Chain A
Amino acid sequence: MRKTQKLLFESGRPGRRGVSLPALDVSARPLEELLPQAFRRQLPLGLPELSEPEVVRHYTALSTRNHGVDSGFYPLGSCTMKYNPKVNEEAAALPGFALVHPCQEDETVQGILELLYEAEQYLKEITGMDRITFQPVAGAHGELTGLMMIQAYHRWHGQNRDKVLVPDSAHGTNPATAAMAGFEVIQVPSDQRGLVDLAALKEALGPDTAALMLTNPNTLGLFEEDILEIAAAVHAAGGLLYYDGANLNAVMGYARPGDMGFDVVHLNLHKTFATPHGGGGPGSGTVGVKEKLAPFLPLPLVERGEAGFYLDHDRPQSIGRVHSFHGNFGVVVKAYTYLRMMGADGLKQASADAVLNANYLMHRLKPIFHLPYDRVCKHEFVLSAREQKKMGAGAGDIAKALLDFGFHPPTVYFPLVVTEALMVEPTETESRETLDSFAEAMAEIARLVREDPERVKEAPHTTVVGRLDEARAVRQLRVRWSKEEA
C-alpha cells in the first residue's frame, strides 16, 4: 500500500473536468464588461482539475485511513465515544428537517420549532434545569456562553466578581474558557480521594468569586460526593456553580446537576446523546440554566403560544447571539431521535451499563497498570503507566502501541493530577468481548514494555504511517499546500 495519499492538487491533469457543461443558450458577454479590472484576480485560481472517478477514489481511499467508532473500539476518556445509531442520521436527513431555510416564517416551520421545544423539555428533565439554549456548537462554546451569562447575572446585581475557581483535575477547556471570558482563574487542589479539597475550596471562596466550574463525576471518573456541601459553600459566598456536562453519561436518570445545586450546565449532545463527533461533527454545546439565569440566555428561544410555536426575540437581558440561528439544528434532531428511541428507562440503562463497563475494565487492568485512585468508578477511570515509564516506555508509547492492535488509544497525560495518565472510557455500547480483547492487548503491551521497551517506543509498527514527530508537527506547522513549495 502507498504510504501517503497524493493530494487532489497533485493529481489529475490541466483541463480535465468532472462535468461537461452544455453550450450557452444566451449570448456570452466579455468579463471586462461584467467586472471592472480592479475587482478581478490577477492570478489563476489554481483549482485541482480531475475527473469524477479520480475524486471519488481519492476520498474513498482517505476514508479507509481513518479510525472511527464505526471501525473499532475508541475508549477516549472524557470524550464518550459511544456508537451513534444510524437511525439518528435518517431522522436528520428527512426533507422536512434538512431542506428548510432558517429564515422561514415561524408558521411554516412549526414542526421544527416543536422539535426544539420538546428537546428542551426532555433535557430540562434530565438535567434539572429550567431553560435550555441550543445555540452553542461545541462544549467549550457552551462553557463560554455559560460564563458570559454568569458574568451578566453578577453585573445585573451590581457586582463585579472577577474570579472563577477550577479544580486541578478539570478539563483544560474550563480554565481556558474562564480566561477567555475575562475572569482570573484560581486553581483548587484535589485531596487524597481525588475529589475537590473542601477546605481549600472554602479558603479560596470570597466576595470576588464569580463561579466554580466542576465536572461530576470528575475527570478521574469519581463522583464528587461532597457536592451538596460544595454547592452550599459556593452559594453562601455569592458565587454560582457551573456544571461541565462532559461526564453526564455516568449519571443520566440517577442524579441531576440541577438537584446537586448547579446553576448552569452545558451538555455535549455529541457525547452523551449519541451524535457524531471527533472530526465527524458538527457538535452541540447545549446550555441549560436555572430560572434566575434564564433572562440572560442567548436569543431567540422557542415558546409555545395560543397560535402555535414561535421564536421569542423579546428578551432584553439576553447576552445576545452566540451563533447564527439555532446552532447546529441537525445535531439536535439526532439527539432528539436518540432520546425518543432510548426513552427514560433506556437512558438509565445506558448510564448503568457505561459504569458497569468501566468498572469491569478497571478491574481487568489494575493488576497490570497502577491505579492511583482505587475506588468504584463511574463511566471512566485513570491508570498510571509510571511503572512502565521507569522501564523505558510511558503512557504516550503505550497509546501508540495500541494502534498495532487496532484500538484507538485512551486519553493520555490527562488529567494532570496523575503522572503518566491513561484515561479510559469504554462507554455502554461495547460488548464484553471487546473489553476483554482490549484488556488482553494492554496486558500484551505491558509485557512488551518489560521485555523490549525500545520496540514499544517505536510503535506503531503496522499502521500506514509510523510514529510521527509530534513536537516538530507543532513547531513547524504547515497545513497549506502551495504549488511553489511542492
Chain B
Amino acid sequence: MEWQIPEGLKFTRRHEWIREEGDNTVRVGVTDYAQDKLGSIVFVELPEIGRKLRAGQSMAVIESVKAVADTYSPVDGTVVEVNEALPDQPELLNQDPYGEGWMVRLQTAEGCEKVELLDPGAYAGWIRQQEEEGEQ
C-alpha cells in the first residue's frame, strides 16, 4: 500500500505534518497514512484560538469509526487559526489530509522548541518500519 508524502513538508513520528508558512507560523495536520489507519473520521475536536501549546503536547482529538486518537503539537506555539470547516465536515481529513483537511495554524518563535521532525524520505522509512513491526 502506498501513502502520499508530499515534498516540502516535515513529519513527526506520530504522523503529523507541519508546513512553515514564512510568517513565523506553521500549519499542522495529520498525514495520509494516519487518516488511512484511522478509517472514516467522524469527529474532530480542535484547540481554542490563543491556546499556548508545548512541543509534544496534545493539540486536538480525532475520532474515527475505529478509534479515538490524540494529535500532538510538533512545536512550541500559540494557536492563531483552526480549520473551522472540520467540525462540520470531518471527512475532509480523509479526503484531503494535506489540503482542505489541515487542522491548526500556530504562531511560533525563532528557534523555538520542536519535536524531532523528519523529511519526506525519512518519514517514508518510518512508515515502512511501522508496517514491518506490525508484521511481527
Contact = CB atoms under 8 A, between A and B. Distances in A.
Interface string A399-428: 000000000000011101001000000000
B134 A474 contact: no
Interface in B47-70: 63, 65-68
B68 A471 contact: no
B115 to A, nearest CB: 16
A470 interface: yes
Interface string B89-103: 011000000000000
Contacts of B43: 474
Contacts of B135: 386
A172 interface: yes
A6 interface: no
Contacts of B67: 413-414, 416
A470 B91 contact: no
Interface in A44-103: none
B129 to A, nearest CB: 14
B42 interface: yes
A475 interface: yes
B65 A470 contact: yes
Contacts of A386: 134-135
A350 B112 CA distance: 58
B68 A474 contact: no
Contacts of A471: 39-42, 65, 91
Interface residues of B, number: 15
Given A386-B134, A419-B134, A474 B42 contact: yes
A228 B65 CA distance: 37
Report, as a range, how many residues of chain A touch the other chain: 10 to 19
A286 B40 CA distance: 36
A153 to B, nearest CB: 27
B65 A474 contact: yes
B134 A475 contact: no
A203 to B, nearest CB: 16
B91 A475 contact: yes
A386 B134 CA distance: 9
A471 B35 CA distance: 14
Contacts of A396: 39, 65-66
A398 B28 CA distance: 35
B40 A470 contact: yes
Contacts of B136: 372
B35 to A, nearest CB: 12
Contacts of A372: 136
Interface in B61-91: 63, 65-68, 90-91
Contacts of A172: 68
A277 to B, nearest CB: 22
Contacts of A414: 67
Contacts of B66: 396, 412-413
B39 to A, nearest CB: 8
Given A471-B39, A471-B40, 16 more contacts: A172-B68, A372-B136, A396-B39, A396-B65, A396-B66, A412-B66, A413-B66, A413-B67, A414-B67, A470-B40, A470-B65, A471-B41, A471-B65, A471-B91, A474-B63, A475-B91
11 contacts: A172-B68, A372-B136, A386-B134, A396-B39, A396-B65, A396-B66, A419-B134, A471-B39, A471-B42, A474-B63, A475-B90
Interface of B: 39-43, 63, 65-68, 90-91, 134-136
Across the A-B interface, give the 3 residue pairs with the lowest CB-CB distance, nearest first. Answer: A471-B40, A474-B42, A413-B66
